[in-house]
A and B are shown apart, each in its own frame.
Chain A
Amino acid sequence: MSSVATPTPAPRPRRRRRTKLQRRQTRLAWLLLIPALAVVAFVAIYPLAKTVYQSFTNQEFLAGITPTKWVGLDNYSLIWHDPAWKHAVILTLKFSVITVSFEFVLGLIIALVVNSSFKGRGVMRAVMLVPWAIPTVVAAQMWKWMLDDTFGVVNDLGVRAHVLSHSHAWISDPSTSLGAVAAVDIWKTTPFVALLLLAGLQVIPTDLYEAADVDGASKLQQFWRITLPLLKPAILVTLIFRTLDALRVFDVFYVFFGNRLDTQTMAIYIQSTIIGDGHVGLGAAASVFMFLIIALFVVIYVTFMRVNEE
């Protein structure tokens, strides 16, 4: 009885406090948001939901094979126990760690250099973008020829300069293939990293450095105490961009190795499962795994960023 007697006034006044105008404004806000939400739903949520749905079915790519039916978690268990998938995940992670760390360090050095003032800085800033401006497939094909063991220019120069004892099949030999493909990705993407970091460097006020000079801080101290802390937001954005890109890598690997087993990345595994083998359901399950792996990285980065803000 007491519960009935006890009034629960808390929410009511709050609701009452909303004026007509406020309500109208809220409605208008939702109305204006609808187009954007519809676009997001159409291009992001719908495909994602469909992929998740397909991952529970045995759907095939081509017609007339088997009628599509619900198979529960079968696809997930098949992918989970497939050594080729495990290999693809490990390879992709290795590739991401190698390329992102090299690109970050090299990109930071380049950004610091082109941020300082010297003659021809404008030219330098533009020229460094050339690798980034070449389409990936074209750049990869170029490098594939340059790294070839019979007519490749890299081997030719290496042997002439006595750096190499004999021509090496950088791409075919499993012991060097990951290094070769990582090198090409680093060559291509470092300019992009440098550009993002340069943008971050340019918003750091110069008077901080002037003050540090007055206080007698060395250049190295200035870098660790001023540049790096103030660059942190730009660094995080760069790392998120690059890590997500590296985890989804497809083109360089596909041009370099085609369907080779030991060089399958997650994206190539999925493409070859869906389109080559025709198993849409199985490929969808792998896509969901890949989505979760990438989501995990995003969560880690975003948490790190928040902690940092506080």
Chain B
Amino acid sequence: MKHRRLLVLAGAIGAIALVASLSVAAASSNRPARTHQAAAIAAPKVPNAAAIKKKYGGQKITFVGDSVGNGHVRDLALAKRFTKDTGIKVSVTPHPAASDAAYSQLARAFSSKSSSIDVAMIDVVWPGAFAPYLVDLKPKLGKQSKLHAAGIVQNDTIGGKLVAMPWFGDYGILYYRTDLLKKYGYKAPPTTWSDLFKMAKKIQDGEQKSNPNFAGFVFQGNSYEGLTCNALEWIASAGGGHMIDNGKATINNTKAATILDAIRAQVGKTTPRGVTSYQEDQTEHAFDSGDAAFARNWPYQYGIGATAGSKVKGKFSVTTLPHGAAGKPVGTVGGWQLAVSKYSKHKDATIEFVRYMTSPAVEKFDAITNSNVPTIPSVAKDKAVVKTNPYLKPAIASVARVTRPAKFLKTHYNEASKVIYQGINQILNGTPAKNVLPGVQSKLNQILKQK
């Protein structure tokens, strides 16, 4: 009798634990899924599908894809269409949302020669590190690569081999609430960081009376790859160099320290104190819930904000990021490529999938449904694309692009970026820049010497 009661109780506890786990899992996957637009436009059909089906139909491949914003929804829609047309089954696995964690996942798979990943999306700063594990796509996709921006193709070519195909581009932009700027008497978005902080303060003070969660400005302050991107924009836009210039670490300079300290002074004032653990999704969520006046993010956020379910639809716009006293506006170059694993058991079928995913039709679909930057210049100029993606207008798209120092670091990029974002995160969490930057600089120089 007693035992039976205990068993029932144990079962009940198991159920409670399970429900708790599932609800957390569901909450995490539900939040960013506002999919109205992605569903409204059908994925483009696969060209030459019959021939592909005849050769490779029935094969199964695994794609490690996007997890930020609606990226996973897009991947599923495109994979479904590809499977329908070609008979090649594609299973889509989203990668970790923090790019450095996604790097670790791939590094583990490659170093163990795993055939469980056929194709993966790789960050613009990784081709150097992963080249030995990737298939040369030049023989089959060399012609298609000529459609893409030459600079990115060059970035993806290591030792004469095309190890990845450009998929979508990225650069940092400033999102701002047009309605709130008007309400508080501003005619134009800020052009300098100090203007931004002043405007953020005034709007926040006013809005917090009715919404205590309201913040002036949100960005990606967590200790992860995204912070390296944000910090590069702050430093470069203040005339403080590009962290590493001409093969030498330059991050320890007064201009960099001044702007980093200025940002630090805003943490907990015009930004939420918790901004030092924000990534892209938290930034997007704060802005699109109507809880922020300004946000720094990648273009993908535009599409989510402009969908029917968003609280800021029709109330926001984008522009270039502000600059410091002695600089000009910049945007960090991001972007993702598709790469085929050397250990894939279905390389040819996988390459056909990459061919489809990086085709002009798919890039146009991605730009319109997900507001991602096309890597094919003719698609980026397409009228329908520019209409849904105003950041592609020349005034914003022609902003000076700054690149993370991958070319000096090659295989050591991930390690160096960790030194950078950990240091910057320490500053944002309250340590003065002058106590942190010398250490970061000497560590970077040590890593540069390793080669």
- Interface of A with B (CB < 8 Å)? 61-65, 122-123, 126-127, 129-130, 133-135, 138, 141-142, 145, 148-151, 167-169, 171-174, 257-262, 272, 275-279
Contacts and interface: CB of A to CB of B under 8 A. Distances in A.
Contact of B111 (A61, A122, A141, A277): A61
A172 B276 contact: yes
A275 B107 contact: yes
B442 to A, nearest CB: 12
Contacts of A63: 111, 132-133
Given A169-B272, A262-B426, 19 more contacts: A61-B107, A62-B110, A62-B411, A64-B131, A64-B132, A126-B10, A130-B17, A133-B13, A133-B17, A135-B17, A169-B273, A169-B274, A171-B274, A172-B274, A258-B222, A259-B224, A259-B418, A277-B415, A278-B411
B9 interface: yes
Interface stretch (B97-105, B144-152, B353-361): B97-105
Interface stretch (B21-29, B115-123, B160-168, B179-187): B21-29
Contacts of B223: 257-261
B100 A134 contact: no
Contacts of A174: 429-430
11 contacts: A126-B10, A127-B13, A149-B273, A169-B273, A173-B429, A257-B277, A258-B101, A261-B423, A276-B100, A276-B104, A277-B415
A171 B107 CA distance: 29
Nearest to B428: A172
B160 to A, nearest CB: 15
Contact of B421 (A148, A150, A259): A259
B429 A150 contact: no
Given A261-B422, A278-B107, A151 B20 contact: no
Contact of A122 (B6, B20, B108): B6
B132 A261 contact: no
A-B pairs, 7 with minimum CB distance:
A169-B273, A126-B9, A277-B415, A133-B17, A261-B422, A64-B132, A260-B223
Interface in B5-46: 5-6, 9-10, 12-14, 16-17, 20-21, 24-25, 27-28
B64 interface: no
Q: Which size bracket describes the interface of B in this complex?
A: 35 or more
Among B20, B104, B277, B286, find the residue whose CB has the most chain A CB atoms closer than 10 A.
B277
Given A61-B111, A138-B20, A169-B268, A277 B426 contact: no
Nearest to A264: B422
B286 A62 contact: no
Given A149-B272, A172-B276, A276 B224 contact: no
B425 interface: yes
Contacts of A65: 411
Contact of B21 (A62, A129, A134, A169): A134
Interface of B: 2, 5-6, 9-10, 12-14, 16-17, 20-21, 24-25, 27-28, 98, 100-101, 103-104, 107-108, 110-111, 129-133, 212-213, 215, 222-224, 268, 272-277, 286, 291, 411-412, 414-415, 418, 421-423, 425-426, 429-430
Contact of B24 (A129, A141, A168, A275): A141
Nearest to A141: B24
B274 A259 contact: no
Contacts of B213: 150-151
Nearest to B212: A167
B268 A122 contact: no
Contacts of B131: 64
A278 B414 contact: yes
Contacts of A64: 131-132, 411
B253 to A, nearest CB: 21
Contacts of A262: 426, 429
A308 B27 CA distance: 51
A176 B273 CA distance: 13
A275 B100 CA distance: 10
A65 B412 CA distance: 9
A134 B430 contact: no
B67 to A, nearest CB: 15
Nearest to B12: A126
Contacts, number: 126
Contacts of B12: 126
A150 B111 contact: no
A272 B417 CA distance: 12
Contacts of A277: 412, 414-415, 418
Contact of A134 (B5, B17, B422): B17
Nearest to A174: B429
A127 B133 CA distance: 50
B414 to A, nearest CB: 6
B57 to A, nearest CB: 34
A258 B277 CA distance: 9
Contact of B13 (A62, A126, A135, A148): A126
A260 B422 contact: yes
A162 B285 CA distance: 28
Contacts of A167: 212, 273
Contact of B16 (A130, A171, A259): A130
A64 B342 CA distance: 14
A39 B433 CA distance: 52
A196 B131 CA distance: 51
B13 A129 contact: yes
Contacts of B130: 62
B107 A148 contact: no
B277 to A, nearest CB: 5
Contacts of B212: 167
A149 B218 CA distance: 14
B109 to A, nearest CB: 11
B209 to A, nearest CB: 15
B224 to A, nearest CB: 6
Contacts of A278: 107, 411, 414-415
Contact of B418 (A122, A133, A276): A276
A75 to B, nearest CB: 14
A148 B411 CA distance: 36
Contact of A150 (B27, B104, B274, B423): B274
A142 B24 contact: yes
A258 B418 CA distance: 11
Contacts of B276: 169, 172
A62 B107 CA distance: 7
Contacts of B27: 145
A150 B14 CA distance: 31
Nearest to A168: B273
Contacts of B14: 133
A244 B213 CA distance: 41
A261 B13 CA distance: 37
B15 to A, nearest CB: 10
A122 B9 contact: yes
A168 B272 CA distance: 10
A145 B23 CA distance: 13
